[in-house]
Structure 1
Amino acid sequence: MIIVYSENISNRLTYTLDVIFKNILKVDYSIVNYETFNNCTDQIKINYSNRTLINCISIKPHSILFEESLKKQHITVDWIDTIPYYFKTSDAADFNYDIFASTFYIASRYEEYFTTELDNHNRFKAEDSVAFKNNFLEIPVANIWAQELKKEIIKKYPNSDFTILKYNFINSIDIDVAYAYKGKGFVRFTGGFLKALVQLNFSEVKNRWNYIYKNEDLYNTYAKIIKLQTQFNTKNLYFLNLGDYAKLDKNISYKKKALTKLIKQLISAPNTTIGIHPSYASNIDYQKIKLEKDRLEKIINKKVTKSRQHYLMLKHPDTYQQLINNNIEYDYTMGYANKVGFRAGICNTYPFFNILKNKEEGLQITPFQIMDGTLNHYENLTPEQASEKVKDIINVIKNVNGTFVSLWHNSSLSEINEWKDWTKVYEMLVKNAAKN
């Protein structure tokens, strides 16, 4: 048992200790008063106060964990060897930087509560984050700080007993558009065919002709996905967009037999979970979240508790609050569309903290680190370069025994146009990520 002494106890402090000890290190802790702390001789002791105490690990506190309102924080990042630190509070403690406050700042996404210049989808930009500006976006700093604390504990308390942590892999697939042609109806299909003819897009004409005569649908890549899932015994998590047709929500109708049959096929595979992919339109009309979730629950005849936002539309704290209102318990949106890495500095599932309410909420966040579109469209990597990037991120996560979450799309395995030769990237990813 780890005991922590603090002169003050706050929701932010309790939340942060939960993230570090319960979610990352998987160890029990307790916050105690001075008398209990001072008299205890058989526990791991962490002094999180400005008092000078002996026979314990000392971390001098920053004020952020004891504040109750939002306040712009001045962040100065220093590097010690290969590890970035901020919120320096002492030159004499075991940790010169407040790793508790630092963890809270990055995991709660404190900086995203302030108005910044948003991207064209009104999303917080990776380029505006402290992590990107200081070149540690591809480092799971919260996990590493926790590891450094663990090392210090073992150094001072050689008989301390920690849970053996295990690396985990979740292979997630977003199904924005289930099929390129199947289930779209005569008018929609024919309109696309004529458009391709007018534009002299003979490649698309050929693809549609092959669908008519050979029943070959470009986005029907599920056999590939399921084959690899079975071969490497991976946990596959599919997110379905069941929103009404719109400019940025182009899936076939939830009423189509082709879609319901596909969903039932996917969920029948071992180690498979189905989640909702709230539509782009649901970010404007929040009532659509319930509507779309109800549609999916009716199809699978099961409660839906997992989600990921279409287009990764995430606004703090509004998005998470709306998911909570609709009984979503786990969300997988935490990550950037245009950058690979660790948006929240952490590669473990952890709870959501609503800073405006100043309390932890009943929603678990599982960040992802790699998305196909990020590698291809935003970073313009070749399949070979993308494979190396994927390997690097997997190794980083394995080194901290975290959870690697990849984000792929069925359409990205189509092997046409910009996705030519990208199936081998996905195959490499699954093969390497599945190795413990």
Structure 2
Amino acid sequence: MSYTKQALGNEFFVKSNDLLFEQGLNDIEINIMDWGGHSKCFFFNGDKSAIPFDIFAASFYLLSRYEEYLPHVKDEFGRFTASESIAYKHKFLHQPVVDIWAYKFKEALQKQFPDFEFPTKTYSIKPIIDVPNPYRYKLSGIMRTIGGTLKDVFRFKFKSLYTRFMVLMHFSHDPYDTFKYVINKQKQSKFRFSFFFLLGEYSTYDKGANVNNKSFISLIKHVGDYSNVGLKISYFAIDDADVLKKEKTKIEDIINKPLRASRQSFSKLNLPETYRNLIELNIKEDYTMGGYVNEIGFRAGSCTPFLFYDLDYEIQTPLKICPYHVMDFALLKHKSLLDKKRVLNNIINEVKQVNGQFVSVFHNYTLSYSDRWSGFKDLFNIILESGNNEN
């Protein structure tokens, strides 16, 4: 096999694009074409190549998030948005194109090397429970409780006022407290869930529980008896390594073992700085990359975990990126429960076709009895059943 500009003979030849031989970043022209009627591709390289495009350069472009290093318009939280991506613009965000390409590449290789054996993959799921605040009314402290009560009164939110009273008087269940339900689901599943708890200080962006509250600490320990526990990095810790280090130390003291995985608040990433901070603190996995908060799909073009490549330093790092493919908020744009189920099943099927890992992000309050999240327990069960039904 050769990967050059010109074939050397009759070998398996893939004509190369310049991308993987360059240093630094350039504003690259991307021309999209169809491949086999099922997926899109780019970096076309002509008919003489065994593959009609540079599969290595195209995969690298998507997985490294090359386009996120280039100038782009950010949203109000400083995030790279779906509408800025080539996958969204050219309508292939809904497909794990890198995995699709890999399977087609495998088929082409097998034709020329029929005796070559490839490792097999199987479909799996990785349910993520994001916990920015474990409770709606409990553990808020006196000042926040008084402030919340006054807001309910002045805004005529009497239903919320009544629920707050019933919860605080222990006559009713806190609507955000869905942990017993999720843990029962964990017990029935062969796949391990991951919970990400926010331990940052109270701020404009983060309004979690008091990190020193004994009940909150007991909850984290209890969840850790059944599922993986990771850190939901606070908004200000994303750009402040010292704050991040304090939050990491706090959760390690609670779970009594080294922190392995993280997620960023608001799914915000500043590449490459965000990931460099994680690597510096020896965090092994991150679950922030994936789809987008308001769009379902494959941000990096893949449903297979991969190692982060730092484009500025030109080095592969030990940080494993575990992309998610659907967040609960992205399903809200679909009005009916039937439409939500259809969209969810479609994205699950895309992952199943390439034997990938389906990663979903649901918040603890998503599984509450709130009108806004009506039917989301059914959607969560669809994900769990998709994994449990696999042999």
**TM-score bracket for this pair, using the shorter chain length:** over 0.9
Q: Which runs of 5+ in 1 are unaligned?
A: 1-45
Structure 1 match to 2:326: 370
SS at structure 1 position matched to 2:316: strand
- 1:114 maps onto 2:70 in alignment: yes
- Aligned pairs, number: 387
Structure 1 match to 2:26: 71
Structure 1 match to 2:98: 142
- 1:277 maps onto 2:232 in alignment: yes
SS at structure 1 position matched to 2:277: helix
Structure 1 match to 2:347: 393
Instruction: Write out aligned runs for 1:194-205 (5 A).
Output: 194-205=150-161
Structure 1 match to 2:296: 340
Structure 2 match to 1:247: 204
- 1:426 maps onto 2:383 in alignment: no
The answer to whether the 8 Å contact 1:88/1:98 transfers is: yes
Structure 2 match to 1:310: 265
Whole-angstrom CA distance in 2 between matches of 1:256 and 1:215? 21
Q: 2:185 aligns with which of 223, 228, 233?
A: 228
Structure 2 match to 1:257: 214
SS at structure 1 position matched to 2:279: helix
Structure 1 match to 2:243: 288
TM-score (norm: length of structure 1) = 0.86
Structure 1 match to 2:11: 56
Counterpart residue type for residue 63 of structure 1: D
Q: CA deviation at 1:421?
A: 2.7
Instruction: Write out aligned runs for 1:187-226 (5 A).
Output: 187-211=143-167, 212-226=169-183
CA offset digits 1:82-128 (Å, max 9, x no partner): 12110012221111200000000000000000121101111011101
The answer to whether the 8 Å contact 1:394/1:433 transfers is: no
Whole-angstrom CA distance in 2 between matches of 1:55 and 1:160? 18
CA offset digits 1:217-240 (Å, max 9, x no partner): 110001111111112232100111
CA offset digits 1:331-354 (Å, max 9, x no partner): 111121111000000111111011
Identity value in percent? 33
The answer to whether the 8 Å contact 2:324/2:358 transfers is: yes
Q: CA deviation at 1:55?
A: 4.2
Instruction: Write out aligned runs for 1:13-162 (5 A).
Output: 46-80=1-35, 81-162=37-118
Whole-angstrom CA distance in 2 between matches of 1:134 and 1:381? 25
TM-score (norm: length of structure 2) = 0.96
Structure 2 match to 1:16: none
The answer to whether the 8 Å contact 1:182/1:258 transfers is: no
Whole-angstrom CA distance in 2 between matches of 1:151 and 1:170? 28
Whole-angstrom CA distance in 2 between matches of 1:250 and 1:178? 10
SS at structure 2 position matched to 1:254: coil
Counterpart residue type for residue 149 of structure 1: F
RMSD over aligned Cα, in angstroms? Answer: 1.3
Q: CA deviation at 1:215?
A: 4.4
Q: 1:174 aligns with which of 118, 130, 155?
A: 130
SS at structure 1 position matched to 2:233: coil
Instruction: Write out aligned runs for 1:315-334 (5 A).
Output: 315-334=270-289
Whole-angstrom CA distance in 2 between matches of 1:128 and 1:98? 23
SS at structure 1 position matched to 2:4: coil
Counterpart residue type for residue 216 of structure 1: H
SS at structure 2 position matched to 1:282: coil
The answer to whether the 8 Å contact 2:309/2:315 transfers is: yes
The answer to whether the 8 Å contact 1:47/1:53 transfers is: yes
Structure 1 match to 2:308: 352
SS at structure 1 position matched to 2:46: coil
Structure 2 match to 1:383: 337
